[in-house]
Chains A and B, each alone.
Chain A
Amino acid sequence: MDDEKKLLHELKNGDVRAFESLLTRYERLIFAYLYRMVQNRSDAEDLTQETFLKLYTHRRAIDPEKKFHAWLFRVATTTCYDWLRKKKRSKELLMLDDPEAEGETIPDDASYNYRERLQTAQEMEAALAKLNPTHRTILLLCYRHDLSYQDIADTLGIPVNTVKTHVHRAKKALKEKLI
């Protein structure tokens, strides 16, 4: 049993020290993700708190045999979307499970040559901020946090083919923002 699985089993039994170990391991990752999602440190801080409190409250729902980071990103994403809905910052959020997108297969290696434009980190941050939350979520999970399509599908509760379609659209949207 690896270290993380052991911690997850201990957390399920209500061990607060196991929770703190997992918090130490993932807090930076989750904060960075939520910060890029909401573009505000204070809001990201609140959402990070809420995400980890949900983790503790729903610890019995954790399956140590499954990928924990995907589950944690799912909690963070749901928390963030709920918050965005409350704030009415986005009208597009519920479009994640787009029935038209399902079945539309997009080659994984679809890429653009705008890397040659030597985008700076600030340009990237600005472009990301301009994307809608769905595209931002998909790109961050896929390229920043290296989640597989299957993990993203599990995280967002949508089919893998829909994820591929969203990735393609998100890349296209990002390209438009960067040009």
Chain B
Amino acid sequence: MDSHSQLFVGLSDETMPSGLHERIMHKVMARHYAKLSFPFFLLFLGSTILSGWRVWTKLAEADFLSIVRALDESFEWSFSFASDSAATVFSVLPLYSLAMFCINVAIVLYLIAIVRHWSKISPTSIV
């Protein structure tokens, strides 16, 4: 070992920052699962767009704005008004269409939230 090697051997080993290993693994897992879940994300996104389109066409067909205006004009705080309003809305917009749209939106948002959560390492991250 020459004199230079001896000089460098004397340098101390830096202690690893706590949690660095875990943060790297979290980010790698995020990438790993983001890739695996991407087809599902696309599937649910497509389903959300289709169910959203279905809801929109139903609302447009029934002239939903005029229904809302009519309900607004006859508005009162009562159980009968609430049940009549719900019945009116569901007569033009099937419950299953609305439920399907809401479920799809929730799943897409959940998938985005999971990947964002796993990706979050530190505010100073330059990646």
Contact = CB atoms under 8 A, between A and B. Distances in A.
Contact of A143 (B4, B12, B24): B4
Interface stretch (A68-76, A117-125, A153-161): A117-125
A46 B24 contact: no
A49 B32 CA distance: 16
A53 B27 contact: yes
A176 to B, nearest CB: 14
Interface residues of A, number: 45
Given A50-B127, A56-B31, A35 B14 contact: yes
B58 interface: no
Given A42-B124, A83-B126, A52 B24 contact: yes
B7 A119 contact: yes
A7 interface: no
B70 interface: no
Nearest to A114: B3
Nearest to B10: A121
A56 B32 CA distance: 9
B127 A124 contact: no
A81 interface: no
Nearest to B8: A143
A27 B12 contact: no
A72 to B, nearest CB: 13
Contact of A113 (B3, B13, B32, B126): B3
Q: Which 9 A-B residue pairings sit nearest by Cβ, starting from the closest?
A: A143-B8, A115-B3, A32-B14, A144-B8, A121-B10, A35-B14, A56-B28, A143-B4, A45-B17
17 contacts: A19-B28, A23-B21, A32-B13, A35-B14, A45-B20, A48-B24, A49-B20, A49-B24, A49-B125, A49-B127, A50-B126, A52-B28, A57-B31, A109-B2, A112-B3, A115-B6, A143-B5
